[in-house]
Amino acid sequence: MFTDKLAPSILAADYANFETELKRIDASGSEYVHIDIMDGHFVPNISFGADVVASMRPHSKLVFDCHLMVSNPEQYIESFARAGADIMTIHVEATPHIHGALQKIKAAGMKAGVVLNPGTPVASITHVLELVDQVLIMTVNPGFGGQAFIPEMLEKIEEIAKLREQKGLAFDIEVDGGIDDQTIALTKKAGANVFVAGSYVFKGDVAKRVATLREALNG
C-alpha cells in the first residue's frame, strides 16, 4: 500500500542549470523532485520561491514535492498552486493556523503535507492527520543540506507509523536530511516510504546514486 518513492532534493543541485539538473533527476527513475523553499526567517537561509518553481515546471513531469521552510506559509498557497506544485508541505511550527492552512492547500488543488522539526513532538499534529496526504519527519534541523542524520528520529517515525495504523489513515511518511545508502534502510524499517536525498545524490553520478538508494531499499 505504501510504495517507496525517491525524492532528490534540488537544493543540492547547480542552481545555474536547473533544466539540466531536472533532466538528470527524471532520467534517474526518481518519483519526486524535492524543492526546498527557505525564507531567511523560519530558517537561517534563503533559497528560492514560487517563480523559480514555475520556471522549473515545464522541464519535468515528475511530482514537485515542495517543502516550505517559511513563516506563515498560508500566504504562499495560491502562488505555489499556480507555479505547478503537486505537494505543498508546511511546518507545524510556522503557523498558529495549521489546520486551516492545510485545508486551504487542499482547496487550492494540491496535496497537503505537514512537517515536524526534530524537537517537535508527534502530538502536535495528532488532530490534523485526517487532512494530510504526507507527514514529513525532519531527520536534521532544517535550513541546510549536508548535515548528519539524527538517529533519535527513528523512534519518531515509528510513533507516527503506529498512530497512522491506529487511526486507519493512509498518508505517506517522508524523511528529509542526512539520507544516504545506510540511513535510508533504517528509516524504511521504522516506517518511512518517501525518501529525500540532497547531497548524497548530487555528490556523485545522479543515476548511479539513485540506483544505490533503490538497492538499499530493496535490501
> Applying CB under 6 A, what is the total number of residues that bind ligand DX5?
22
- Cβ at position 167, least distance to ligand DX5 in Å: 26
Name the one range near ligand DX5 by CB under 6 A: 13-21, 23-31, 77-85, 136-144: 136-144
Q: Among 146, 167, 205, 208, which residue sits at the site for ligand DX5 (rule: CB under 6 A)?
A: 146
219: cell is: 535490501
- DSSP codes of every residue in 52-96: HHHHHGGG--SEEEEEEE-SSGGGGHHHHHHHT-SEEEEEGGG-S
48: cell is: 528560492
Count other Cβ atoms within 10 Å, centred on residue 27.
Answer: 11
**Residue 73 binding partner per list Zn ion, ligand DX5, none, with a CB distance cut-off of 5 to 8 Å that depends on partner kind:** none
Query: Which amino acids are annotated catalytic?
Result: 36, 176
d(CA 27, CA 29): 5
- Residue 3 to residues 112, 136, 188, Cα–Cα distance (Å): 18, 15, 11
- CB neighbour list of residue 23: distance below 8 Å, 6 or more residues apart: 59, 60
Residue 65 near Zn ion by CB under 5 A:
no
Q: Among 73, 113, 178, 191, which residue sits at the site for ligand DX5 (rule: CB under 6 A)?
A: 178
**Residue 177 binding partner per list ligand DX5, Zn ion, none, with a CB distance cut-off of 5 to 8 Å that depends on partner kind:** ligand DX5
Residue 98 near ligand DX5 by CB under 6 A:
no
**Residue 113 binding partner per list Zn ion, ligand DX5, none, with a CB distance cut-off of 5 to 8 Å that depends on partner kind:** none
Looking at the Cβ atoms of 103 and 180, the one nearer to ligand DX5 is 180
Is 199 annotated to bind a ligand? Reply is yes
Beta bridge partners of 66: 35, 88
CA-based nearest residue to 36, from 11, 5, 13, 55: 11
The binding site for ligand DX5 (CB under 6 A) comprises: 9, 11-12, 34, 36, 67, 140, 142-147, 176-179, 196-200
Q: Which residues make up each annotated binding site?
A: 9, 34, 36, 67, 143-146, 176-178, 198-199
